[in-house]
Amino acid sequence: MNKINDKIALITGGARGIGAATAKLFLEAGAIVIITDNDEQLGSKIASELGERCYFLPHDVSNEQSWTAVVSQIIQIYNRIDILVNNAGIFRVSGILDTSLSDWDLLVAVNQTGTFLGIKSIVPVMKNQKSGSIINLSSIAGISGNSRAPAYAATKWAVRGLTKSAALEFAEFGIRVNSVHPGLIKTRMMDEIDQSSEELDARVPIGRQGNPNEVAKMILFLASDDASHCSGHEFVVDGALKA
């Protein structure tokens, strides 16, 4: 299953959920994986559990200097970055009238600006290589509206638009850029929703929420040469929720 053998992969928000599941799958597929997170204790623990080809770096995705430091450390050791998974994100349930400006700014900083900074920081490396795959985590909230989480939805629509624009801008350099749009996935984010697990399962046409590994499999496909002609598009993992 060595689909990305010896590729250097950077996964943000890698300490839990989809990020941690993706790191595990990438390692099984032969990659060397660097996970980053703002939770240093958990990030270090996960990297240690995943083994000697997985490393952790502390990282604030909303901060440009933090991106510079992370990329510099990876390049000093490996001299390349083949895969970027912009996975770090936060979720808030709040209507427009109940969303404070500070909450809005925080969601934009992490979900939207974090993705922008990731692309901006990594593309110069990938341009020199004339190859690379960038996978941005959006959401089904980036496919349709969400009256219960409009600020979150706005950032995920922005990720979708940024993905398409970056795919066009960097195609000539052999860089592919795609977005993944999870539906209801059993992660810590679901704790923000005021519904039981059974109620969430019932909302999904196939009868259950997804699990992080199912999203990770889509990310692995996009990271690998199996997706060599896929760029600039949305890949939905939602059990037909938005069909």
Enumerate the active-site residues: 152
Contact at 8 Å (CB) between 132 and 176?
yes
The angle subtended at Cα 64 by Cα 114 and Cα 37, nearest 5°, is: 55
DSSP line for 157-217 = HHHHHHHHHHHHHHGGGTEEEEEEEE-SBSSGGGGGSSS-HHHHHHHSTTSS-B-HHHHHH
Contact at 8 Å (CB) between 10 and 81?
yes
Cβ-based neighbour number of residue 5 at 10 Å? 11
Q: Which has the closest alpha carbon to 86: 52, 54, 120?
A: 120
Contact at 8 Å (CB) between 199 and 158?
no
